[in-house]
């Protein structure tokens, strides 16, 4: 067993992604609108394969339901349908707030692991 995963459990990375994957998607869409497959590929490329999501689409649907991203009508490129997603102003606000929250809680967490008294 070379990874930090139990027989039945999830790895630390999976739980970390549970918390952070919407922020990663919003951060990518902040640079420019992208379609699903492109977002997956970008996550893989930028992280050098260290941060990928097995199934991205449910993340996109949730972000859209929450009003944090918009989707365009799908357009055909090289015979394949693409749906482009873009961040909304609510999404930008949520991203900013939640990144702040991330910084605050990591500060506390790092106090714990440093053995703060």
Q: How many residues does the chain have?
A: 117
Helices and strands (H, E) in the chain, number of each type: 4, 5
Q: Is 2 in the site for DNA (CB under 7 A)?
A: no
Number of Cβ within 10 Å of residue 87's Cβ equals: 22
Say how far apart CA 42 and CA 22 lie, in whole Å: 14
The reply on whether position 5 binds a copy of itself by CB under 8 A is: no
Q: Which residues contact 1 (CB under 8 A, 6 or more apart)?
A: none
**Is 89 or 116 the residue whose CB approaches a copy of itself more closely?**
116
Applying CB under 8 A, among 1, 20, 41, 59 the residue interacting with a copy of itself is 20
The C-alpha atoms of residue 61 and residue 113 are separated, in whole angstroms, by 35
> In the bound complex, what is the minimum distance in angstroms from residue 35's beta carbon to a copy of itself?
18
Site residues for DNA, 9-48, by CB under 7 A, read 9-10, 13-15, 17-18, 21-22, 35-38, 41
Instruction: By CB under 7 A, name the binding residues for DNA.
Output: 6, 8-10, 13-15, 17-18, 21-22, 35-38, 41, 52-55, 57-62, 74, 77-83
């Amino acid at each position: 067993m070379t990874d930090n995963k139990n027989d039945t459990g999830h790895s630390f990375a999976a739980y970390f992604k549970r918390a952070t994957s919407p922020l990663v998607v919003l951060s990518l869409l902040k640079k420019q609108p992208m379609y699903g497959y492109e977002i997956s590929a970008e996550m893989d490329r930028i992280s050098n394969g260290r941060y990928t999501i097995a199934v991205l689409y449910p993340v996109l649907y949730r972000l859209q339901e929450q009003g944090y991203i918009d989707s365009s009508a799908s357009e055909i490129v090289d015979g394949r349908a693409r749906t482009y997603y873009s961040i909304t102003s609510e999404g930008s606000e949520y991203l900013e707030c939640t990144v702040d929250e991330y910084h605050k809680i990591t500060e506390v967490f790092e106090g714990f692991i440093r053995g703060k008294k």
